[in-house]
Structure 1
C-alpha cells in the first residue's frame, strides 16, 4: 500500500470498491458509536462501569436474570433512538447494487436492518438485542411483553410454548457462539474478493480470524477504524478515521 494521505487512501478505497464484485463487510462497535451507541470494551466502555453478566449466572439465578433485564431495558432505550449513520447507509447502498454479499457484525443494535439491509443480508454473530428468544426452543419473544410481565409480576417470564427461560437474543459471556452463523461468516469471507472491516479492533476471537480467512483466499483487505488494529500490516489498505466520513457517498451512482 503506497497511499499516505487520507485523500489518497480514500481514492484508493473507492477504486477497490468499484473494482470488486463480491464484497463482505465486517462491522464492530466503532460504526455504532458514531450513531450514539455506547461501546462495551473500550477503557471508558460499559464493562469498565459494571461487570458483565455471565451466561451460567443468568441461567442459575432469578436475581441475576432480573438484573440482566433491568440493564437491557435501559440500554435498549439508547438503541431505540439511534439512527444509522453514513457507514451503515453506504453498506445498504452497496447491497442494493449487488456488490455486497453480506455484512457480518459483532453489533447487537439492529442498525444495519434500520439502514435497509434485510435480516438475511446481516450475519449477527453476537446476536440481536431488539428481541428476546427462548433458550430451549428459540421461539422469538417481544421485549415489550417481557418488560410488562416483569413489572406486573416481579418475576422473569417463561416461554409460552415450552416453559424455557427467555433471554435477550444476544450471545452473553460464557455462551457458545452460534455455529451456523460463524460457518456462514467464514464461508462468505472465503468467497469474497474484497473484505472491508469497519470499526472493529479485531481483538475478539473467533471473529478476528475472518480477515485472515479472506486474505488466505486471495481477497483484498481494507480496515477502516479510529485506532490501529493488529491486522493493519496485513491490510491492502487501512484508514484511521471516522467511518461515516470515510464512507460518505460510497455506493451512490
Structure 2
C-alpha cells in the first residue's frame, strides 16, 4: 500500500459525506458527519491532520450520536489511524474489520457480461435495482438462499422503495453515483453502485438475490461499475467487503478482476450486529 493511496482514501472519506448533504461537527481529533434531511446516515471518523483520538474523545462523539438518535458508527482506515481501534475498544465498543481492496491499475478489464447493463435515472428497473441489495444483505453470506424474484416483487410493494428510488435517481442525474444491474427475463438479480469524488470512486452496495448466488453476477456487476468509473475519470477504485466470506477470493474474483487486498478497514459495529456502510 502506498502513501498516495492512503492519502486519496482519507480525502475521499472526508469529502463524500459533505457532497452527500451532511455537515461535519468538530470533535477535535474526530469529525461527526450528520445528515441534513433525508439521506444516508453517516459516521464519525478521524479529522484529517488531527492527533490521535482517545477513549474520552470517542465517548464525547457517542454522546452526541445518542442525542441526535443517529447510528453509533465510527469508520476509519487502520493504516492511517493505527491507534484508534484501542481508543474505540476502550470506550466499550466492538470493532469489526472489513477487508479493504483497491483495483490494480494494470489489470485487464473483464469482458462485458451479457446480462449486465448500466442503470440510468429514468430506467424502469431502477426501483428494483435499489431494492435487491437490501434483500441480499438481509441474508448474509455467499450460499444460495430462498429469496428470489417473488420476494423482490413483494418488497417492491413497500412504499419506502419509491423514496429510495427517487434518492438514487437524483444522485444519478447529478453524477454522484453510477449503477449497474444483472437482469434476466426482465428481473433484476444483482445490482450495485459506485460513488465518485474527484478521481476516486468506491464500489458500494453490490448485492445478489440469494436465489441467484454463485453465478458470477456480483463480479460482473462490479466489473461494469469499475469500467464506467474509469471511463469517467476515476484513477483509484476501491471497495470494502462485508467480511472474509464475501470478499473476492484469490481463486475467484480477486485475481480475475485485478483487485489486490492491501489492508483492513475497521468499522465499529453496534451490539445488535451490522454497522459499517
Q: Note whether the superposition's TM-score is higher than 0.5.
A: no
Higher strand residue share:
2
TM-score range, shorter chain: 0.3 to 0.5
Could you state the TM-score of these two structures normalised by the residue count of structure 2?
A: 0.31
Could you state the TM-score of these two structures normalised by the residue count of structure 1?
A: 0.33
Higher helix residue share:
1
